[in-house]
Amino acid sequence: MSQNVIWKTSPNFSTGRGGTAVDRIVIHYIVGTLAACDATFLNPASQVSAHYGIGEGRIHQYVSVHNTAWHSGNFAFNQRSIGIEHSADPNRAPTTQTLNMSIERCVTLCRQFNLNPLTAIVPHESVVPTACPGTVDWEYIRDRTAARM
Ligand SMILES: [Zn+2]
């Protein structure tokens, strides 16, 4: 079953991957809803983006997976990774629906880029010091994706 991905093109990205192979999927939390994610990523002044945002029953794509989104705070890491944002905040974990949609997206991406989920799926906090992905159980996403491969 393919997901209905809704395009919301962000102006915040770099064309291409700088010759780097994609080998990581970075798990983020929005600290808000998908609507807040849209507002930030569609604003050129924010200078941030991710490839996908998931929440409230929807999945939005902001940047092509063949281009570099600005999500991890480390440009070299951005060039080798895909960023996925999840609707959640410090007092609100993502819903089961959001997690399931994320797992389905991760399965698709791991197949597309020939990735092992157990090494490819990482939390934002592993890239730079940050509270992200907060209440998102990224290990659950990683392990359920691996079980589906
Ligand atoms: Zn993050």
pLDDT tens sequence across 123-140: 999 999 999 999 999 999
- Ligand 1 centroid–CA 85 distance in Å is 7
What are the DSSP calls for 27-78, one per residue? EEE-SB-HHHHHHHHT-GGG----SEEEETTEEEE-S-TTSEE--SS-HHHH
3-state secondary structure 5-40: EEECCCCCEECCCCCCCCCEEEEEECCECHHHHHHH
- Ligand 1 centroid–CA 112 distance in Å is 23
- Ligand 1 centroid–CA 45 distance in Å is 18
Question: Using one digit for the tens of pLDDT, what is the confidence trace for 93-117?
Answer: 999 999 999 999 999 999 999 999 9
- Ligand 1 centroid–CA 50 distance in Å is 9
| CB neighbourhood size of 38 (10 A) | 18
pLDDT above 90 (res 91): yes
- Ligand 1 centroid–CA 28 distance in Å is 4
Backbone angles phi, psi at 21, to 5 degrees: -75, 140
- Ligand 1 centroid–CA 123 distance in Å is 8
Percent of the chain past pLDDT 90, that is, above it, reads: 98
Answer for the pair 20, 14: CB distance below 8 angstroms, yes or no.
no
Averaged pLDDT, 58-78: 98
pLDDT, residue 3, reads: 86
Reported CATH class of domain 5-148:
alpha beta
- Ligand 1 centroid–CA 94 distance in Å is 14
- Ligand 1 centroid–CA 31 distance in Å is 9
- Ligand 1 centroid–CA 27 distance in Å is 7
